[in-house]
Structure 1
């Protein structure tokens, strides 16, 4: 029992900060931290020592986070996808860099106007600003954004990114 307490005390801050960087949600990070250590305790006998304990725990945490995303995929919003792009940890950055790169690849399938509208939304432009700059109505900008979000979510879910 003392070994478990030592493991928790020694690594809880690192794992918490890692999960927080993935989720940007302190409450969810707390939940995933608990799930991570419960899972680690149950599977400590499988730890082979091929990596550090910290790396192993962060790997478990990442899997817990991905499991959470899969459970929540029906409610993933466009802004949640954008938050994935800004994760700061090394392992998390690799995941989000791959996802961001893949979203950019997917967007290449869309026409130039759609790519411009989405690019401007990502940069924070309002629908009115997009409409003015693109020479379209504000409602057209909203429709393009809505349809593209829906299309992206469907494609990412279909290909198990969400």
Structure 2
């Protein structure tokens, strides 16, 4: 018997992962606790990355991810698997972030005191592999308009198809394609400007 050693195309892996996560969500809906654990483990990373980029505040990402899963389990009895569990969950994450913005806007503004979060960030280790690249990407993404950043993160970071991203955001697929294209163009310009600035400084 011959076993293929050809690599599995990334799209095939993503489709298989989505199918598994959706099956776990459906099983969890029927009371399977092990399936619920698999569901959370499979999608926690995607949710965490998405809410961090969407909120622009990595400090609150864990809380937003937890809120997303709490809402998801509350809504699980109504989940029918028409869309993938990942698309469904990221739609819930989007609402969780929007609600957090509304709550923050309604709270009294804090006094003008030193920002403890900024102090903590300044003392974090900087020599870790990928640290600077991650900070640079966050800075570049923060410069994009919110709608373009969201479309870019959903498709290029979280790996959703344009169709699933459109369903998650609630807009036509052509709008998602346009936003991603403009985001890529803007990121390209920002990278070129950063390279020019670094060469000039050198």
TM-score (norm: length of structure 1): 0.49
Which has the larger share of helix? Answer: 1
TM-score (norm: length of structure 2): 0.40
